[in-house]
Structure 1
Amino acid sequence: MTEFGYFLSCEEFGPADLLDQASMAQDAGFRSLWISDHFHPWNDAQGHSPFVWSVIGGLSQRCELPVETAVTCPTVRLHPALVAQAAATSQVMLDGRFRLGLGSGEALNEHVLGDPWPIADVRLDMLEEAVEVIRKLFTGEQITHRGRHYTVENARLYTLPDTPPPIDLSAFGPKAAALASRIADGFVTTAPDPELIGTFRAGGAGRPVSASTKVCWAASRDEAVRTAHRLWSVEQLPGELNQILPTPRHFEQASELVTEETVAEAVPCGPDPEEHARRLRAFADAGVDRVHVGQMGPEQRGFFDFYRTKVLPLLDGAGPAGAGSAAERNGRTDRTDPRNGGERS
């Protein structure tokens, strides 16, 4: 059956708050953690963007939940060799509970060193080669790689886990989903889209599909809608804007077109547990193995109490009849099953 995890938003919270949320998520009954990897927030109102790998080190000391980056872009701002080293160390520190979620990224985070921002097809080609480099380094052997996009010379990872972290790929469109189907250990999405999930699963069964969605709990629905609109109206922008706009200010300008009414229709807001449960059931019904819920705004303690007592009990056994997590379907009990990246074409 579908499991439920918590999404730690590095765009909205600093390191100490993220660690506290991880502890509260564990106590509330969430089964895993996703954590975003950004250089910038989406807008100034969110106000944060700590270095994700430092936060993951802290998480390893604060809770026992599996952790996944959702997602890291290993192509422009960070060379894939450095991502491989960071992921291997994270897997060691988390005692095998880490998954490396990767995606093709956004200009918002990846252009900051002055590099050009490629078109979607090139970004996917870069992502595929980056995965190749990372997997080579996970072997622990000294490697030299000279490819279309990356060069690695005489590189070897010395701090390695017993088992390399699984690599999951994010996709918003069919090309990225097909790439994930071909080379990834799991699939990352933000929509209950059976077609995309089917594209991924066509490449072989037994690999987990994970997703995330944001909600906003507050004492009143109106208050929650205002908070969600102020902080996360960016999520209602159409098309590929999320991949190509370069600064938080550009996102603020584009988000002026998003109304509170649009947010209210799209986001579970307020204190009705059934409204929240309906959104999560949609992911379960689409065949998602694990759904990560992110609370928008400052009401974190109220959110965790609400989900612990009101929402998660409604979701016991969520998922299509006869379904189970990818791990369960393969006779395994691995609890390390896992927004950005991919193209929308």
Structure 2
Amino acid sequence: MRLGVMFDRGLPPEELVPFARALDTMAGIEDLWVVEDLGWTGGLTSAATALAVTSRLRVAVGITPAPLRNPALLAMELGNLARLHPGRFVAGIGHGVREWMRQAGVAPRSPLSLLEETLVSVSALLSGEQVSLDGREVRLDGVRLVHPPQVPPPLMTGAIGPKSLALSGRLAQGTIVPEGYGPERVRAALEAIAPTGPHELVVLTYLCSGELPEPLAAEMAGFLQVPASEVASLSGTPDEAVARLRALWEAGADTVVLRPTGPEPLRLVVDLLGAL
């Protein structure tokens, strides 16, 4: 049962270094997660920075949108980070928010095909294979990494729908589900993933003092297409948040990633650790 913390996209990028260094000293926190959302921040530059200024934490990107990243370039970048920081880097890859992909002019004809072909080709490249692929969305002709990592980083898939979850269970080493999932949705996701081997389920969740702010609840309700009352979070007192955290672990989450809200995100983390 792992516990991680997200560096929120709303925080200024220059705060990442002190944020990462502070987490690196916190017993009980094992992961630092960074994001790649259109217009906010680049995930791989954030991950490289965090890895460079920490010594203990596992650093993960959740997620790089497949439409924004050519698989050959993505494998080159992931391979570099894995070689420089062996065993400390996790690569999350997903569909990306469809509206954002449309805005960027990279919306694929088949998001599911693109994700599958990206996972297959990036995994093979990171393993040192020469890759040729004439797929529906991805085309590579004899590409090979000159410096593949000795230990390829785990590839995790950001997924929500049943087809994407099943794809993740078949091809990835882990699945990332977004904020708003409670224990019932976690159990349902595991059933849809039906992994064929070792597989890490990562659950992102808001951590807040008091109730989850209404704008965040409304945003996630629209994203998940559920009523706002069904958007789960680690809210309330620290003891109440711990109870909700334990419920996620008991439902099958291997890793829970806290997304603290408010002006003092690390204070919320420290309070939760104290209660935990």
TM range (shorter): 0.7 to 0.9
Give the C-alpha shift of residue 231 in structure 1.
5.7
Shift in Å at residue 159 of structure 1? 3.2
Structure 1 window deviating more from structure 2 (293-302 vs 105-114): it is 105-114
The answer to whether the 8 Å contact 2:200/2:254 transfers is yes
Listed one character per residue, the Cα deviations across residues 164-198 of structure 1 (whole Å, up to 9, x for unaligned) are: 11111222122111111211112222323212212
Q: Which residue of 1 aligns with 2:267?
A: 302
Pairwise mapping of residues 19-38 of structure 1 onto structure 2 (< 5 A)? 19-29=17-27, 30-38=29-37
Q: Which structure is larger by alpha-carbon Rg, 1 or 2?
A: 1
Contact 1:57–1:93 under 8 Å retained in 2: no
Q: Would you tell me which structure has more strand in proportion to its own residues?
A: 2
Distance 2:51 2:106 in 1: 33
Relative distance call for 1:72 and 1:85 in structure 2 (3 A) is same
Residue of structure 2 aligned with 1:195, choices 168, 188, 194: 188
CA drift at 1:266: 4.2
Higher relative contact order structure (alpha carbons within 8 Å, sequence separation ≥ 6): 1
Q: Counterpart amino acid of 1:189?
A: V
How many residue pairs get aligned? The number is: 269
Match of 2:156 in 1: 168
Helix, strand or coil for the counterpart of 2:175? Answer: strand
From 52, 57, 76, the counterpart of 1:85: 76
Letter in 1 for 2:260: Q
CA distance in 2 between partners of 1:136 and 1:23 (Å)? 33
SS at match of 1:100: strand
What is the identity, as a one-letter code, of the residue corresponding to 2:176? V
Aligned equivalents of 2:238, 2:224: Cα separation in 1:
30
Alpha-carbon distance in 1 for matches of 2:126, 2:187: 32
Amino acid at match of 1:211: V
Give the Cα separation in 2 of the matches to 1:208 and 1:5. Answer: 13
Q: Percent identity?
A: 24
**Alignment correspondent of 1:6:** 5
The unaligned stretches of length 5 or more in structure 2 are: none
More deviation in 11-20 or 58-67?
11-20
Q: Which amino acid aligns with 1:6?
A: V
* Alpha-carbon shift at residue 214 of structure 1 (Å): 0.8
**What are the Cα deviations for residues 81-114 of structure 1, in whole angstroms up to 9, with x where unaligned?**
2211121112123222111112122124322432
Deviation at 1:15, TM superposition (A): 2.1
Report what 2:65 is aligned to: 73
- Asked if 2 retains the 8 angstrom alpha-carbon contact of 1:25 and 1:304, the reply is no
Q: Does 1:236 align with 2:228?
A: no
Q: CA deviation at 1:12?
A: 0.9
The C-alpha deviation readout for 1:282-301, integer Å capped at 9, x for no partner, is: 21111111111110122124
User: Which residue identity lines up with residue 219 of structure 2 in the other structure?
Assistant: V
Extract structure 1 runs of 4+ deviating beyond 6 A.
none
Name 1:62's counterpart in structure 2: 53
CA separation in 1, counterparts of 2:145 and 2:196? 30
Aligned match of 1:340: none
SS at match of 2:65: coil
Check 1:15–1:160 CA distance in 2 against 1; reply closer, same or farther (3 A cut).
farther
Per the alignment, residue 113 of structure 1 pairs with 104
Verify: 1:140 aligned to 2:139, yes or no. Answer: no
Measured at CA, do residues 143 and 205 of structure 1 come closer, stay the same or move farther in structure 2, by a change above 3 Å?
A: closer
AA of the residue aligned to 1:56: A
Deviations 1:28-68 (A, max 9, x none): 3211122211123xxxxxxxx12111111111122121112
- 2:44 counterpart of 1:53: yes
Q: Distance in 1 between matches of 2:170 and 2:138?
A: 21
CA RMSD in angstroms comes to 2.5
Equivalents in 2 of 1:196, 1:211: separation in Å? Answer: 10
**Cα deviations across residues 184-238 of structure 1 (Å, max 9, x unaligned)?**
11222232321221232x3324322221101123xxx3xx65xx33566412225
Q: 1:194 to 1:295 in 2, by over 3 A?
A: same
